């Protein structure tokens, strides 16, 4: 099963990708997580990506495409994978197709999580992320069992710098100008499935599952 999850920042891509990872035992590949980890580690990639992320801009296609090409070679990707946050431009989508074609793989389905702008902003401003395992929480909709502590690894939670209001606006702008056209791209390939991502997490997961298992 090879799945791409599309959707604006805050649409719940990471949450649903984690759910699918658990359910199907295939890796959840988040380019945002890979880049944030590189920033934390202070690697060359991290130094390059840092200011783009901090300003809510997309990192250059060439940088991210190489990362994904390498990651998809992993043995854990043989049975499938869930891509979260990639592709984000038509150039990335074309590159993904080429990378997969060389491996004799194809994307099975693209899920687009649709959420209103009002809900996106509410979700992003209340989002908290585990410093250890990057699990997502929300102060109101999905609080951890123990205040500001991760349910999975007991690490503390933090707010992503790019979830602050100014940067959120820029990220939404990048989404609208560069990423949203991918819905048409995948619709034309007959791969796109629209999901109402504005509902509660469990309801969205249910719709995601029934869509995937309808195939
Ligand atoms: P995310 O966690 O998916 O919201 O990504 C956080 C940030 O990482 C984005 O705002 C971009 O700066 C960068 N990023 C993640 N994935 C990509 C991508 N596929 N192409 C370009 N930049 C990306």
What are the per-10-residue average pLDDT scores of the chain (215 residues)? 96 95 97 94 95 96 96 95 98 97 94 95 92 90 95 95 90 96 97 96 96 85
Closest C-alpha among 57, 67, 72 to residue 103: 72
How far apart, in whole angstroms, are the C-alpha atoms of residue 27 and residue 20?
Answer: 9
- What number of CA atoms fall less than 13 Å from residue 55's CA on the CB side? 8
Q: Look up residue 168 and give its two tokens.
A: 């959120």
- Coil, strand, or helix at residue 116? coil
pLDDT value for 69: 96
Closest C-alpha among 129, 122, 179, 203 to residue 8: 179
Q: Look up residue 78 and give its two tokens.
A: 């043989």
pTM (whole model) above 0.85:
yes
* CB distance 12 to 90 below 8 Å: no
132: preceding bond cis by omega (within 30 degrees): no
Mutation test residue for ligand 1: of 16, 35, 71, 92, the one with most atoms within 8 Å of CB: 35
Find the 143 Cα to ligand 1 centroid distance in Å.
Answer: 24
**CB under 6 Å to ligand 1: residues?**
9, 31-32, 35, 52-53, 56-59, 64, 85-86, 88, 92, 162, 171
DSSP 138-163: ETTTB--SBTTB-TTT-PBEE--GGG
* CB distance 137 to 127 below 8 Å: yes
Largest interatomic CA distance in the chain: 47
Closest C-alpha among 4, 25, 2 to residue 111: 4
Q: Which residue has its alpha carbon closest to ligand 1 atom 19?
A: 86
Q: Look up residue 106 and give its two tokens.
A: 């194809």
- Coil, strand, or helix at residue 131? coil
- The secondary structure element, H or E, covering residue 121 is helix 117-126
pLDDT value for 215: 59
């Amino acid at each position: 099963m090879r799945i791409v999850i599309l959707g604006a920042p805050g649409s719940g891509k990471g949450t649903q990708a984690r759910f699918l990872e658990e359910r199907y035992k295939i890796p959840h590949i988040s380019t945002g997580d890979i880049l944030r980890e590189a920033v934390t580690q202070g690697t060359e990639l991290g130094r390059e990506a840092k200011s783009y992320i901090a300003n809510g801009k997309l990192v250059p296609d060439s940088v991210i495409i190489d990362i994904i090409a390498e990651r998809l070679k992993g043995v854990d990707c043989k049975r499938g994978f869930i891509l979260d946050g990639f592709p984000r431009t038509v150039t990335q989508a074309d590159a993904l197709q080429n990378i997969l074609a060389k491996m004799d793989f194809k994307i099975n389905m693209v899920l687009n999580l649709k959420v209103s702008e009002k809900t996106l902003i509410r979700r992003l401003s209340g989002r908290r992320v585990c410093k250890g395992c990057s699990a997502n929480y929300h102060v109101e909709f999905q609080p951890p069992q123990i205040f500001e502590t991760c349910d999975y690894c007991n690490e503390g939670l933090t707010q992503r710098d790019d979830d602050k209001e100014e940067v959120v606006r820029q990220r939404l702008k990048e989404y609208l100008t560069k990423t949203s056209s991918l819905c048409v791209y995948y619709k034309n390939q007959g791969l796109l499935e629209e999901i109402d991502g504005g509902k509660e997490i469990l309801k969205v997961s249910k719709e995601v599952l029934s869509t995937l298992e309808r195939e």
